[in-house]
Structure 1
Amino acid sequence: MSDFNLQQVPHLRRGFRLQWEPAQGCHVLLYPEGMVRLNDSAAEILLLVDGERNVGGIIDDLRLKFPDVPGLDEDILAFIEVAHAQFWLQLNA
């Protein structure tokens, strides 16, 4: 895994915006150079990225919403790692 921990607070990088795109029928991540279509799982995670909730809080909230999903913690951490590596997210201590 990456260098982040559960106490770090993710937020969208400057210039990125999450929104529902009716024409695409999904949430998208907009940025100056383009757009990323998000699947439902990625959108659920990014909808909780508010610059206040830490990674552990995001995991807890999604566990409550989806209690019967096996491996949810690992999937969330993997997505956050990828989103951070793609420069969609910044992680603050």
Structure 2
Amino acid sequence: MTVTTASVPKIGRHFRIQWEEAQQAYVLLYPEGMVKLNQSAGEILKRCSGETSVAGIVDDLEKTFNAQGLQQDVINFVELARQQKWVDVT
């Protein structure tokens, strides 16, 4: 499945995202370890609730950060996250 603006990503069932104060970053936790996320990845993944489409995530990010033109970057990241099994996409 290719990620599109209509895709609805959700954090994979073996993963959990949380803010890690000691790291001053979002991290993705899984049974075998942890992935420290950069700011962009953390902001995207924390919006992957399974209820919001990629288009909705882009809209929220652009409003939150007063930015434009994020659509392709978000699609590319969600595709990468899907390949890593960090997210499931419907």
User: What is the TM-score normalised by the length of structure 1?
Assistant: 0.87
Provide closer, same or farther for how the CA distance between residues 54 and 68 of structure 1 changes in structure 2, counting only shifts above 3 A.
closer
Trace 1:12-91 onto structure 2 (pairs within 5 A).
12-69=11-68, 71-91=69-89
Question: 1:17-70, CA deviations, whole angstroms, 9 ceiling, x for partnerless residues?
Answer: 00011121211000011100001111111111111001111011111122335x
CA-atom RMSD, angstroms? 1.4
Letter in 2 for 1:80: V
Distance 1:84 1:46 in 2: 11
User: What is the TM-score normalised by the length of structure 2?
Assistant: 0.90
Unaligned stretches of 5+ residues in structure 2: none
Letter in 2 for 1:77: I
Letter in 2 for 1:59: V
Unaligned stretches of 5+ residues in structure 1: none
Q: What is the deviation of 1:73?
A: 1.5
Q: What is the deviation of 1:75?
A: 1.3
